[in-house]
Structure 1
């Protein structure tokens, strides 16, 4: 698995598909912290949502970095397409870890907040960013070329699901009570954002519950993705 992960890393680095989303994230981060001071948890709620969108973009261009023929050979060497896909998904989440650390520590160490965040707040921010990066990956992979071959369809579709996830709270309030439960089918991005933004006005346990829900949702979605991809096999989209 280590050798497989290193191969995935080398393939992705050569693709340079990560450059635009990373540049966008850094530019927005520097821009929002160019004015000080900023609220601690409100800022972390915003940057976690930003990471969700960037992670979805990264995943969108990550799964399809290999040519169809090369993918077949790699899957044979890996033992199965499912094993290769699992390695890719794990690597994608690990790839976002430095971004999580950057978004959490950059404003804290450079004194961009109106006060010094506590250790508990830093830990909660790390958990929130990690869970939202996982949710972003879980959204982005379903719009890859193996499922939706036309970019003119997949790109707007991904943008739509990202927008709907970010607006999930408002959608839940707008829907009639009889169908309001449908809003819970969306990735729980707004749940994590609201939990971060509301601290310390609400119990800190709400943050961990929200992050746990996000991770469970993300793992379940990625499991469905692997199963669907295994059912589809190595045939072209």
Structure 2
């Protein structure tokens, strides 16, 4: 599977599709850190970054999974020996792309965005939130990729609409049991994230796993 993942990453890089989400990533980071984050607010900044960058992660995952035309995906399935390997390699490639983008989002403010270095615990929680965010974004991007939604217009509408729906649901009374974007932002701002992170991350990862499982199931009939 690893050679197939490398092949997909190379194809994504050659297609220049990565430029679009990277521009979105750096545009958001410029907005986040155009003003230096004061000491003690690093975790709050990371929480906001992890929540808002879900849209960029979804965009990057969608682009990665859209790179190969249907014929090439069928060839990859044949070469892999089992269709599931090609599907898994595509998801893993999308995750790797988003992992790199999340690393940029975590590392960049350490050099130019924060007035002081965050405490080790805050840095660890910031990393954890970005991992949760990229998992949600990868699932959303997969569900809006070409094998699932062949129309580019419908795909982008569902991607942006899906992210907006996640935000709106997260501010509702059931937000902690959905993808809790706003609850983790509020907890970070209130200084209560330590006790809430495990439950919030579990809820987000549950729905991310459900989204990936739905994508894998749909790919059985939509190569």
Q: TM-score, normalised to structure 2's length?
A: 0.89
2:211 to 198, 203, 221: 221
How far apart in 2 are the matches of 1:67 and 1:151? 13
Structure 2 alignment gaps of length 5 or more: none
User: Conserved in 2, the CA contact under 8 Å of 1:56 and 1:139?
Assistant: yes
User: Match of 1:193?
Assistant: 185
Q: Secondary structure at the match of 1:204?
A: helix
2:163 maps to 162
**1:75-154 alignment runs, 5 A limit:** 75-110=77-112, 112-154=113-155
Aligned residues: 221
8 Å CA contact 2:179–2:207 kept in 1: the answer is: yes
TM-score, structure 1 normalization: 0.84
CA contact (8 A) 1:165 1:187 kept: yes
**Residue 210 (structure 1) aligns with:** 200
1:51-83 Cα deviation digits (max 9, x unpaired): 211011112222121122111111011122221
CA drift of 1:229 comes to 0.9
Report which of the two structures shows the higher radius of gyration computed on alpha carbons. 1
Residue 53 of structure 1 is matched in structure 2 by: 55
Whether the 8 Å contact between 1:21 and 1:54 is mirrored in structure 2 is yes
The structural deviation recorded for 1:34 is 2.0
Change (3 A) 1:233 1:160: closer
User: Which ranges in structure 1 are unaligned for 5 or more consecutive residues?
Assistant: 174-180
**Residue 176 of structure 1 aligns with which residue?**
none
In 2: Cα distance, 1:12 partner to 1:163 partner: 27
Change (3 A) 1:34 1:85: same
